[in-house]
């Protein structure tokens, strides 16, 4: 999945494959995808869309919902994740009859501190949660038996595996294959040193022996176009073969190179040699996912699951109206933007956004977070091209707002002229044609500059008051 779909987890039931991802501060949370062949995928929903499930709508940038695990057991689907900004901390579990939902209210395991929880059931049906934990001695993988229905620990968490000696051992997933239990982890941090390592044991509670050839997957210190690969989750196919999903980034430009669409999901085949997994990245090539958008909000009966918001839930900040959707500014403690966003998914793209100014300024643009964005600020009087990087905001061009008709704003990612990943072009349709107000260096809307775990999203946000959004189109090389 191209774009901001990190920390993938995969589950198969029969001939159906399901994948879910981290969503961080964006709401609704945990996007869910379906496939019958591993090669063609369709987003079928988002698991977390209610107040009794998470607090992600009020989370700060790169807070909120961290790496989930999706599994099926005794006729039900289970999700477990970390809601890092919840007041009581700990891990959060949900269940559903089908991954499309609806998902249950949160079951909070408040005594289980850490991140990246995994779910597995042993031969006696006892649920084991493995997770990443850190203390003064460093970062380790711990495990505890739990009563998942009740959200109760059945034992004190115990040390499981420290990894191979690289930093940041995290993202554990535990599997049974034959007489072995395999523990797959991420190491090296979710940056350029990221790797996948594996250990095995005859017992899911350990002790675990690391593979002598670890790591089993990495692109560190190479010029491979996909970097930071790691955080893998394995799945057995109906024919007995195996595959894995994992995250990676696609940095571009001059050193240190810059990735802008966040951490994305990739697919590999997995074969077994001497009862150890071997990743084959060229054996399974997913079909190209177009990712194009053409949503006329005056005609949409329901939200497509692609639409997300930072700051407040879509249901809290939008109201359907005759000619579109009324988008309201809702102040939140995190300072993130109440908005209507979709993930940027291509290397170069164009978006056309049609809106009518309301009672306060609104921005049609592209953002990483509330401190790093480029956009066209629309009021009843004028349209400003704005660069906002860190604490510095600069208006780089202005035209009068068109009288008596909506503003048609264009935001595009163009080939770079600065050694960065791209240039962001901001333009407006006027009575004299389309006017380019700015072409801005894309490096400043990269994770390397902004930090954090997310990537670019584009759309509209209200800085105050309200604005009417009529239509948004987006795609690769759109005019």
Residue 132's nearest CA partner among 102, 112, 110, 150 is: 112
Q: Which of 25, 83, 118, 170 is catalytic?
A: 170
pLDDT band at residue 57 under the 50/70/90 scheme? low
Q: What's the distance, CA 51 to chain centroid?
A: 20
Q: What's the distance, CA 474 to chain centroid?
A: 19
Residue 97's nearest CA partner among 173, 215, 13 is: 13
Secondary structure element (H or E) that encloses residue 291, with its range: none
> Which residue did the predictor score with more confidence, 167 or 431?
167
Instruction: Summarize pLDDT for 394-440 with one digit per residue, the tens.
Output: 999 999 999 889 999 999 999 999 999 999 999 999 988 899 999 99
Distance CA 113, CA 90 (A): 5
Distance CA 76, CA 226 (A): 35
Task: Please report the pLDDT score of residue 86 as a whole number.
Answer: 82
C-alpha atoms less than 13 angstroms from C-alpha of 446 in its C-beta half-sphere = 22
Query: Do the beta carbons of residue 259 and residue 249 sit within 8 Å?
Result: yes
Whether the per-residue pLDDT at 274 is higher than 70: the answer is yes
Contacts of 356 (CB under 8 A, 6+ apart): 324, 406, 407, 467, 468, 470
**478: which 2 tokens?**
């759109």
Active site residue 7: yes
Residue 340's nearest CA partner among 443, 232, 472, 201 is: 472
276-280 β-sheet, strand order:
227-236, 242-249, 264-273, 276-280
Which DSSP letter does residue 58 get?
A: G
Three-state secondary structure call for residue 449: helix
CATH 2.60.120.200 domain position(s) in the chain: 293-475
Whether the per-residue pLDDT at 478 is higher than 60: the answer is no
- In residues, how long is the chain? 479
Least confident range from 50-54, 455-459, 474-478: namely 474-478
Instruction: Summarize pLDDT for 61-74 with one digit per residue, the tens.
Output: 999 999 999 999 99
E strands along 382-455, which residues?
A: 382-389, 392-400, 407-414, 423-430, 433-441
Least confident range from 53-67, 303-317, 436-450: namely 53-67
**Where are the alpha helices (H) located in 250-321, listed in sequence order?**
314-317
Instruction: Summarize pLDDT for 245-266 with one digit per residue, the tens.
Output: 999 999 999 999 999 999 999 9
What are the backbone angles phi and psi of residue 447, rounded to the nearest 5°? -65, -30
What are the backbone angles phi and psi of residue 445, rounded to the nearest 5°? -115, 45
Three-state secondary structure call for residue 57: helix
pLDDT averaged over the chain?
Answer: 94
Which DSSP letter does residue 316 get?
A: H
Whether the per-residue pLDDT at 181 is higher than 90: the answer is yes
Whether the per-residue pLDDT at 137 is higher than 80: the answer is no
What's the mean pLDDT in 202-228? 97
Residue 210's nearest CA partner among 190, 196, 229, 189 is: 196
Whether the per-residue pLDDT at 374 is higher than 60: the answer is yes
Whether the per-residue pLDDT at 55 is higher than 70: the answer is no
Q: Does domain 293-475 sit in CATH 2.60.40.10? A: no
Whether the per-residue pLDDT at 2 is higher than 60: the answer is yes
Task: Return the sign of the alpha-carbon dihedral for residues 64, 69, 74, 75.
Answer: positive
Task: Return the sign of the alpha-carbon dihedral for residues 276, 280, 283, 284.
Answer: positive
Q: In 10 A of CB 398, how many CB atoms?
A: 14
Residue carrying the six token digits 């501060």: 25
Residue carrying the six token digits 């990743």: 279
Q: Does domain 9-280 sit in CATH 3.40.1710.10? A: no
| Per-position DSSP letters for 45-78, written without gaps between them | EEEE-STTT--GGGPPTT-SB---EEEEETTEEE
Instruction: Summarize pLDDT for 443-464 with one digit per residue, the tens.
Output: 999 999 999 999 999 999 999 9
Whether the per-residue pLDDT at 479 is higher than 50: the answer is no
Task: Please report the pLDDT score of residue 207 as a whole number.
Answer: 97
Task: Please report the pLDDT score of residue 245 as a whole number.
Answer: 98
Residue carrying the six token digits 């009794």: 52
Task: Please report the pLDDT score of residue 284 as a whole number.
Answer: 79
Task: List, in sequence order, every residue forming a beta bridge with 327; answer none if it has no partner.
Answer: 318, 467
What's the mean pLDDT in 124-134? 96
CATH 2.115.10.20 domain position(s) in the chain: 9-280
Whether the per-residue pLDDT at 343 is higher than 60: the answer is yes
pTM of the model: 0.95
pLDDT band at residue 88 under the 50/70/90 scheme? confident
> Which residue did the predictor score with more confidence, 135 or 107?
107
What are the backbone angles phi and psi of residue 58, rounded to the nearest 5°? -105, 10
Query: Do the beta carbons of residue 311 and residue 57 sit within 8 Å?
Result: yes
Residue 436's nearest CA partner among 412, 453, 460, 401 is: 412
């Amino acid at each position: 999945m191209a774009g901001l779909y990190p920390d993938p987890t995969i589950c198969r039931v029969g001939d159906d494959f399901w994948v879910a991802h981290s969503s961080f501060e964006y709401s609704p949370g945990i996007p869910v995808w379906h496939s019958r062949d591993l090669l063609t995928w369709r987003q079928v929903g988002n698991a977390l869309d209610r107040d009794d499930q998470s607090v992600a709508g009020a989370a700060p940038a790169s807070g909120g919902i961290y790496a989930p695990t999706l599994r099926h057991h005794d006729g039900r689907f289970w999700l477990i994740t970390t809601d890092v900004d919840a007041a009581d901390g700990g891990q959060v579990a949900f269940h559903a009859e089908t991954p499309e939902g609806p998902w249950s209210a949160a079951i909070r395991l408040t005594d289980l501190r850490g991140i990246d929880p995994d779910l597995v059931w042993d031969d006696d049906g006892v649920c084991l949660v493995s997770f990443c934990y850190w203390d003064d001695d460093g970062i380790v993988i711990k495990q505890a038996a739990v009563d998942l229905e009740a959200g109760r620990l059945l034992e004190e968490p115990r040390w499981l595996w420290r990894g191979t000696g690289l930093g940041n051992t995290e993202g554990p997933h535990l599997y049974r294959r034959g007489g072995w239990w395999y523990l797959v982890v991420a190491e090296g941090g979710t940056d350029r040193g990221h790797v996948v390592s594996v250990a095995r044991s005859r017992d899911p509670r350990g002790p675990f022996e690391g593979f002598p050839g670890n790591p089993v997957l990495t692109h560190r210190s190479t010029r491979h176009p996909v970097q930071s690969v790691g955080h893998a989750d394995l799945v057995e196919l109906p024919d007995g073969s195996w595959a894995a999903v994992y995250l990676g980034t696609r940095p571009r430009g001059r050193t240190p190179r810059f990735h802008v669409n966040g951490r994305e999901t990739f697919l590999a085949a997995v074969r077994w040699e001497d009862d150890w997994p071997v990743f084959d990245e060229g054996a399974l090539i997913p079909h190209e996912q177009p990712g194009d958008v053409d949503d006329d909000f005056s005609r949409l009966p329901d939200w497509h699951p692609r639409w997300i918001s930072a700051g407040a839930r879509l249901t809290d900040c939008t109201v359907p109206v005759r000619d579109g959707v009324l988008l309201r500014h809702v102040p939140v403690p995190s300072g993130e933007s109440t908005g209507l966003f979709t993930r940027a998914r291509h290397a170069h793209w164009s978006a056309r956004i049609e809106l009518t100014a309301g009672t306060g300024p609104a921005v049609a643009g592209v953002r990483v977070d509330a401190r790093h964005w480029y956009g066209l600020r629309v009021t009843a009087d004028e349209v400003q091209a704005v660069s906002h990087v860190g604490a510095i905001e600069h208006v780089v061009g202005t035209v009068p707002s068109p009288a008596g008709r909506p503003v048609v704003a264009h935001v595009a990612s163009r080939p770079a002229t600065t050694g960065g990943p791209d240039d962001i072009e901001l333009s407006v349709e006027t009575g004299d044609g389309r006017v380019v107000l700015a072409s801005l260096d894309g490096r400043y809307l990269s994770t390397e500059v902004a930090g954090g775990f997310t990537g670019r999203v584009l759309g509209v946000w209200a800085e105050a008051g309200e604005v009417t959004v009529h239509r948004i189109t987006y795609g690769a090389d759109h005019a």
